[in-house]
């Protein structure tokens, strides 16, 4: 049995049973050292109580079904602020924030996320040419060209 697939089913089952359409699974990873990491996010973030409920549900069923023979350490959390955005739903909660986007061709774009379409993100990029006044341009970046997106943290 694929552990990551079964854990994905269990997490989605718990979120659905709670009627929490605002929560969504970002990733499940079983590490070789026995660490099972589940990343869950929400349109308004995710609280410790939600993580605890998901952890109890998954842990209970893994024990009940005897899915893992060896000892394991179960971690349920939200992706850290420095974690790359993976799903389109994660972009929605970051509208208005500054992003750094790496593209498939190796180039980089930075700008304020202003919108999301079905297959792209829209950012406002400040174009600064030497000797000219900086101008803000709207850039549409297709998801298919994005290799990594991170939220830029500002301490201003």
Domains of the chain: 3-77 (3.30.300.70), 88-151 (2.30.30.100)
Average pLDDT on 73-97 reads: 91
Per-residue pLDDT tens over the stretch 29-79: 999 898 999 999 998 889 999 999 999 999 999 999 888 888 889 999 999
Rg (alpha carbons) of the chain, rounded to whole number? 19
- pTM summary value: 0.79
Q: For 127-146, what is the mean pLDDT?
A: 88
3-state SS, residue 154? coil
**In this model, does residue 105 exceed pLDDT 90?**
yes
Q: Are 44 and 93 in contact (CB under 8 A)?
A: yes
Q: Is 70 exceeded by the pLDDT of residue 1?
A: no
pLDDT: which is higher, 134 or 111 = 111
77: left (phi over 0), alpha (psi -120 to 50) or beta: beta
List the Cα angle 67/73/78 in 5-degree steps.
Answer: 105
Between CA 62 and CA 68 the distance in angstroms is 7
**Token reading at 13:** 């089952």
The overall average pLDDT reported for the chain is 91
């Amino acid at each position: 049995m694929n552990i990551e697939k079964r854990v994905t089913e269990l997490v989605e089952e718990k979120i659905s049973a709670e009627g929490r359409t605002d929560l969504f699974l970002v990733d499940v990873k079983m590490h070789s050292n026995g660490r099972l990491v589940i990343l869950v996010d929400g349109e308004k973030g995710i609280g410790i109580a939600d993580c605890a409920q998901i952890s109890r549900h998954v842990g209970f069923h893994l024990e009940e079904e005897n899915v893992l023979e060896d000892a394991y350490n179960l971690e349920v959390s939200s992706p850290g602020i420095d974690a790359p955005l993976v799903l389109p739903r994660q972009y929605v909660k970051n509208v208005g924030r500054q992003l750094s986007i790496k593209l498939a061709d190796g180039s980089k774009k930075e700008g304020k996320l202003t919108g999301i379409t079905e297959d792209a993100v829209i950012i406002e990029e400040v174009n600064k040419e030497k000797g000219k006044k900086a101008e803000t341009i709207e850039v549409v970046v297709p998801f298919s060209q994005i290799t990594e997106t991170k939220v830029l943290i500002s301490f201003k």
